[in-house]
Amino acid sequence: MENKVSLYNSFDTKIGETYPRRAQQLVRQQRAMWTDDTQTAVRFAPGMENMDIHDHDSADYDYAEESIAPNQLCFAPWQHDHYYYPCVISNVHPHIVEVAFLDGYSGQVLPEHIVGLQEAFETMAFECKYGWLGFYRGVISSQQPIVFHYDDGHVEYTELRKLRASRRF
């Protein structure tokens, strides 16, 4: 049996419980934040606790599964840093998508967090891994081959597996 996560309103009053998967989603949506590192409780941001906390737990919720298929190349968020990394869809379930990231790791994400390659290239901000030094911002000027222009003026041909993306705000 899966342990539940406690839900607190912005005044630190316990208002219920939910599954860890849903609590993680609330945190990613910036509707709530973890109360500590044990991830056993979340506190809603002011005014967010009245939104339906079970809006994606319903068994009859319809994800547009026809747009998500196994072996599809896409971007998905990595749970530890919330950046989107290139991956291949391994398996599609009613409420979760299994992905294999191009760097060798695997994970599970909600279907609504999958971003197709073309949509990512058009709507997301990119960083590219430069050697062992880390990720640096820039823009992609060509997708085939991938040409990355770093903000410092350096330009290089790169591989999809060396990119990460974030939503533009």
- With beta carbons less than 8 A apart as the criterion, state whether 157 and 140 touch: no
- With beta carbons less than 8 A apart as the criterion, state whether 107 and 97 touch: no
On the question of pLDDT at 65 being above 70, the answer is no
pLDDT 10s digits, 118-168: 889 988 999 999 888 899 999 999 888 899 999 999 999 999 999 999 986
On the question of pLDDT at 111 being above 80, the answer is yes
Residues 24 and 34 grouped into a single domain? yes
Structure confidence at residue 159 (pLDDT) = 92
Mean pLDDT of the 68-86 span: 89
Residue 97 lies in a domain: yes
Residue 13 binned pLDDT confidence (cut-offs 50, 70, 90): confident
Range(s) of the domain holding residue 153: 121-167
Average pLDDT, the chain: 81
Q: ∠ at Cα 131 (128, 135), nearest 5°? A: 30
Residues 104 and 129 grouped into a single domain? no
Percent of the chain at pLDDT > 90 equals: 36
Residues 75 and 110 grouped into a single domain? yes
Overall domain count for the chain: 3
Concatenating the DSSP letter of every residue in 64-108 gives -GGG--TT-EEEEE-TTT--EEEEEEEEE-SS-EEEEETTS-EEE
Structure confidence at residue 62 (pLDDT) = 39
